[in-house]
Amino acid sequence: MILVSKFIDREQELEFLRERYHSERPELIILYGRRRIGKTYLLQKFLSEVDGVYLLAEESETILEDFSERLADYFNDPFLRENPLQNWRAFFTYLAGKSSERLVVVIDEVQYIAKAHRDFLSVLQKYWDMHLSKTKIMLILCGSLISFMEGILSAKSPIYGRRTGAWKVEEMGFFNVRKFHPLSTEEAVYVYSVFGGVPQYWADYNPELDFWDNLRVLLLSRGAKYYDEPKYLLKQELRDVSRYFSILRAIALGYNRFGQIADKAKVDVNSLGKYLNVLGEMGYIEEEKPIVGRGRSIYKINDKLFNFWFRFVYPRKSEIEMGFDVVGGIKPKFNEYLGFVFEEIARQFLVELNRAGKIPFRFTRIGRWWHKGEEIDLVALNEREKRVLFIEVKWKNLSEREARGILKDLERKGGLVGLEGWEKAYGLVARGVKGKEEMREEGYLVWDLEDFGKLSTI
């Protein structure tokens, strides 16, 4: 039995695996996601419920021998221990022979097998068709190399059409990942702004240290665990990272339109689209368009650690290498950076309220709006009912006068969006808001960090 420590959330993923386990059909599941996202913990939790064999592939020429030893231990098979499997045909034949009853087999980091044994997927396809599809096996292929795993899912893959399910394990949302530590809501916003929803980063965060000391230990010192994390992750998937570094640096500094990125990163406009597509497929950036209208697209970095690193760490690497404390240089600009992250957290907050039925109407889409120098942080729409909610987001403690001024200007900007005949509502999400109860009584929707802390009770 595998014991699992600190398992948080992932109920949707677990339920998916449980349903496939109880299907009584042969299952070939593809499960993937970036490194440190919690795939192994998820699989260990699942195996702790149903039992099964976990096979971890490593960058080694002895993968089959290692797997044979693990299978021999699991099935208590002394013959296999003395006579390791010699090829993948023998491996899949052996599994087929053990699968007259439900058998769960997890192969983790499967990309290393495909790299060392190019025939692996073709042999799997052949033996799935001939033998395994007639058994009760549940075979889970798991990997952290996004480009390779999505290649497995493509029509060009040898096992295309054989898989019975696929799941990409994504980052956790703010309101789930903050369950790792009993932090104040404000400190949790700080931590999320740097480490996003990646479970391993949060597991390494020490709540007994303050936020900046944690950054010094984990990120802002030579030899720190995540000091070169973006470079490490990019080099896992890309041969030459220099152009990608320049592009990510440009976006992190706020150059978010296509032409701006090309100029700042010094990348030819005819080539830039290719680089942006690769970063998008890997999940590191996203193209965003106004939720209403035809405004020009912008690009943003999805990964919080990448965003923070390229904005604050990368340009200070020479100082860090010389042993300087760079926190003093980061702090003055950090509040502005937090403002952009807080918009995303506010979006997640509204989505949670929407699920709980705590918004005046059920919105079906939410996003940003901008046009000709005007912008609204969040616009939530129900197009069938023709209802819209406009929201401004401020990482500030607002007086009642300031809050009312923001809401009045929001009403003006709401009139520019062009949704004539729609029922409109207006709201504000801020770090803190004085007089929010009085504004709520007047029909405005106003929330601050105090309300974030109450979300778990909704």
For the chain, what is the radius of gyration of the CA atoms?
A: 25
In the chain, ranges of CATH 3.40.1350 domains: 349-457
Going by their DSSP bridges, the two strands 298-301 and 445-447 should be labelled as unpaired
Which residues lie below 8 Å from residue 361, measured CB to CB, with a gap of 6+?
382, 385, 387, 389, 423
Using an 8 Å Cβ cutoff, are 299 and 287 in contact? yes
85, 120 Cβ separation under 8 angstroms: no
Q: Are strands 423-433 and 387-398 parallel, antiparallel or unpaired?
A: parallel
Beta pairing class for 423-433 and 445-447: parallel
- One digit per residue, pLDDT tens: the chain, 458 residues? 333 345 677 899 999 999 999 998 999 999 999 889 999 999 999 999 999 999 999 888 899 999 999 999 999 999 999 999 999 999 999 999 999 999 999 999 999 999 889 899 999 999 999 999 999 999 999 999 888 898 999 999 999 999 999 999 999 999 999 999 999 999 999 999 999 999 999 999 999 999 999 999 999 999 999 999 999 999 988 988 999 999 999 999 999 999 999 999 999 999 999 999 999 988 899 999 999 988 889 999 999 999 999 999 999 999 999 999 999 999 999 999 999 999 999 999 999 999 999 999 999 999 999 999 999 999 999 999 999 999 999 999 999 999 999 999 999 999 999 999 999 999 999 999 999 999 999 999 999 999 998 875 44
pLDDT attached to residue 4:
38
* pLDDT digits 0-9 by tens, 26-61: 999 999 998 899 999 999 999 999 999 999 998 888
Q: Kindly report, residue by residue over 173-193, the tens digit of the pLDDT.
A: 999 999 999 999 999 999 999
DSSP conformation class of 395: E
- Give the model's pLDDT for residue 2: 36
Q: Are 265 and 250 in contact (CB under 8 A)?
A: yes
Strand partners, 288: 298
Q: How far is CA 113 from CA 129, 142, 184, 247, 385, in A?
A: 20, 11, 44, 32, 52
Question: Over the chain, what is the mean pLDDT?
Answer: 94
C-alpha distances in angstroms, 413 versus 121, 375, 398, 410? 55, 8, 20, 5
Range 15-23, long-range pairs (CB < 8 A, 24+ positions): 16/165, 16/167, 17/42, 17/46, 17/140, 18/46, 18/49, 18/50, 20/138, 20/164, 20/165, 21/46, 21/50, 21/102, 21/104, 21/138
Provide the CA 383 distance to its chain's centre, in angstroms: 28
The CATH code of the domain at 174-340 is 1.10.10.10
Closest C-alpha to 406, from 420, 427, 436, 379: 427
Domain spanning 11-168 has what CATH number?
A: 3.40.50.300
91-115 residue pLDDT tens: 999 999 999 999 999 999 999 999 8
Q: What are the residues whose beta carbons fall under 8 Å from the beta carbon of 39, sequence distance 6 or more? A: 31, 32, 33, 108, 142, 144, 169
Nearest to 243, CA basis, from 269, 277, 272, 285: 272
Task: Return the pLDDT at 133.
Answer: 96
Residues spanned by CATH 1.10.10.10 within the chain?
A: 174-340
Q: Is the pTM of this model over 0.85?
A: yes
The helix/strand count (H/E) of the chain reads as 22, 12
Helix, strand or coil for residue 299?
strand
Fold of 349-457: Trna Endonuclease; Chain: A, domain 1 (3.40.1350)
Interaxial angle between packed helices 211-218 and 327-355, expressed in degrees from 0 to 180 and rounded to the nearest 10:
110
